[in-house]
Structure 1
Amino acid sequence: MGLAISAMHYTGMVAYRVEGMIHWDENYLIASVVFAMLFAIFALFFGAQNGKFTTLNMTLTFAAAIIGLHFTGMAAFHVTPTNLMAGHSNPAEFKLLALVIAGTAALIVLGGLFTYFIENRTRMENIDELRQARDEARNASRAKSEFMSVLSHELRTPLTIINGYASFLTNLKGHTIAKLKPNEPITKVHFDDLGDQTERYGGRIKSAGDHLLTIINELLDYTSIELNSIKLNRISFQAGDLLAELQEQFQGLAREKQSSLEIEFDEFNVFADRGRCKQILINLLGNALKFSSASSIRMRARMIDDTCRLEVEDNGCGMPAEDLERIFQAFIQAETATKSAEGGTGLGLAISKKLAAAHDGDIGVESTVGVGTKFTVDLPECASVIVAEKALAAA
């Protein structure tokens, strides 16, 4: 804008005819062009604002640009009178006119090329962003579709068990009476058999209910984490006690899977949310038992400086490298719902990673197909007793 005003002004100056030799002071000439450009920038800046006096400020600044350019340019214009013949033309005028025209044309061409390259680059970037957004949307849609398929299966299974055994309990008395011979009295043996069946069916209903509750809790946990409403209840606890508790809890499942479950730990206190740390390890240990087909699973707790490191390592089937980047995403499993015999919602690792992040930590994974997998949870500034004491004192 400033260059356009300058070109207009000096083209008009060159058109001015006088009887004399024209001289230009280059310092004033350059100063006038710079003056016009700066005030044009300020004017356009004011025009881009959303204010009460935006138009007035822009108008006054443009006026200052034109007036300043004019009078500074006039200061650069000097005439030495001569008595030359009429029609005499000053070569300096044509030289300046040629420079102004050529410079203006060059600026227009350069501006056009610059605009073309910028717009082309912007267009290609927009295309890449749209393509990436499209691919992400497709992947998200596919992942959510798979998740809904898995979730419907996971919810249907325990509900079917609950309804089935509830139906058995409802008709248990009638079935027991129907098995009696004519005129056979109901004895204590019948009541004992009835009680045993009731206890067995009730246990299976409870197991299915617990499974259903776990799924619902995972969904609620993930939702609350996504809404940033997670709250940590930090306390000081022994890392070894937590690992021993989990070993006892999962020992039965480990025997069913014909897998040994071992623990290793250093003697130190962890200052963190014990329930959330247990939830992280439950997710990692449960996945190892259900999906890895491992014969040996080992849990470790180590203190590295002020960092608590928890590890779950197995010697199972392992995972390919392409799966390691996606297993921490929500609704994603290393195996699809149709291939996974054990099921699962695909939220366990996503929740675990966010819980670790809530402790200012992270989860890493190393895996080799046919060799095994190791998950590492680092919780910085959670393994120091001094840090814990300072935090408790501050509270």
Structure 2
Amino acid sequence: MNNTKQRFQDEIEVERMWVSTQQAGYSFFCMLPVTALLVFGLWDVASHRQLILWFILWAAVSFIFWMVLRFYHTHKKTLSANLGQFKRILLLVTAFFGLVWAMAIVWFLVPSQPVNVLTISFALIIHVVGVMLTAFYYLPAVIIASFPPAILLISLLFLQGGDSFIAPALILSLLTVYGVTTSFRLSGILDHALYLNFENAALRREADEKSDLLKIALEESKQANAAKTRFLASASHDLRQPIHALGLFFAELSDRVYSPETALVIGQVEDSITAINSMLNALLDVSKLDAGVVKPNIEPFILGKLFIRLQGEFKQIALENHNALHFRQTTAKVNTDPAMLEQMLRNLIGNALRYTKNGRILVAARPRGENIEIQVWDTGSGIPDNQLDEIFMEFHQLHNPARDRRQGLGLGLAIVKRLGNLLNHDIKVVSRLGHGSCFSIILPLAHDTANNFPERQITKNYLSNHSLAGRSILVVDDDIAVQDGMKGLLTRWGSQVTTASSPDELMEKLISSEQKFELLIIDYRLQENISGIEVARNLQANLGYPIAVLIITGDTGPERLREADASGYPLLHKPVEPAKLRSTLQYLLMKSNADNKLFKA
């Protein structure tokens, strides 16, 4: 296999570098608001001349970087012929990036001002994470862009001492090391995926030339696609780990240092983390549907109540895009899963608003015999006839060649199609270029007279009565950064936390502790492929007293999702929002207490 892989080595190297050129505008437009906020946050405490000069230097390096990548993206043959030169240019430009951020630390860091330290630290954290996510294809570029400023800031913070300096220094240290190791793993995953693509192409050529090999080639292609799915799931897991840890650290740190002066910076960082979580959750929705772990709950309900709620939700978004959004109210009752239908309509309306400017969107329900057709009309740019099927494919976007993340990942319609298949609802689309489109969902009418729409929000009355203060919690995760982040956050909430990296360490701490634990938080997949579910079951069977269990996972592979769903344990997916984690823990402890009282009675 190594000899076969070596055959494609040159093509893989060229393709990997060419993939990097597709990030031309992404890194610039993502970091532009961060640098602008940094300048704004330091405007009152730093030299205006130095701030402007620094921003000009950053913009100049970014522009040169963009021009270089854009040139090689449109001249792939030149890239192939001058690969070594391209790498040297890439290293030189990323070195300038590292130098520019190091200059920001030298020029603007004022250790005696916590707000100043926090502002620069968060900006650099986002820079490090951004480099990890956009430059993992070439590890030397990651190192040279992130290590110099990170090491400089970490050293200065450690020299200052004190909790307010040590905490950001530790977080930045962990993220920098984790970023480089994750970039290394993702680079390997990308190489393997490219190898599979080249091998597939070779197999297809051979199949065209030799008809008797067609059957074998198709089987190889299926195996390669399955392998790519597994590797993409692994990549998703590796991305979720540091982002999950970042969310935990940020929640703890924002509680410690929050003040009116830091509110703007903290809010911007929180918005960035929320955006990343939203994109990862969209990927998770597709994985769940492919794995078959999502089961519809069909029931009758009044469609008009859903229309009223969606109108209130999207009204402001429509105004921001200067669109007129109208819902034609209906009293129709339908038979479907209310939550799934709501997600389908939310995706369709969101798409219509996203790709319509200064236009109109109409949502209406029209009777069709024993069925009803929900239509979402828009006056957008329309869809070419030859693209009407492709728009339901994952990551397919018609009007986003630059892959602007503000326009999503291209998963909305893929999720609509999968949910439609699951619910047995037909999905139709008609469109006319330059005039707009109409997406339709056809579903059965309900003859039931039920007048209710199920509320899917968890009742919050019990939450205030079930604090986490004083609760004894076990945390088992083989990722030290996640362990530290979880322990810091739970401790901040008043819990008594014991951590372990493996089942053996868990048993040692249980034996040496006289504490009676109430809750176990455990990662789904531990080192050496040990199942967290099996560890939880063994613990519950042998502990001698009841303990609640929460499984947390970063896996999105179909087989893993089915296994986790079949376990019966409550499950959260990384990255977990701190508020969701807290409410889930409160609910589990409340339920465990109620079960124990019932058992004793």
Q: How high is the TM-score relative to the length of structure 2?
A: 0.33
Higher-Rg member (1/2):
1
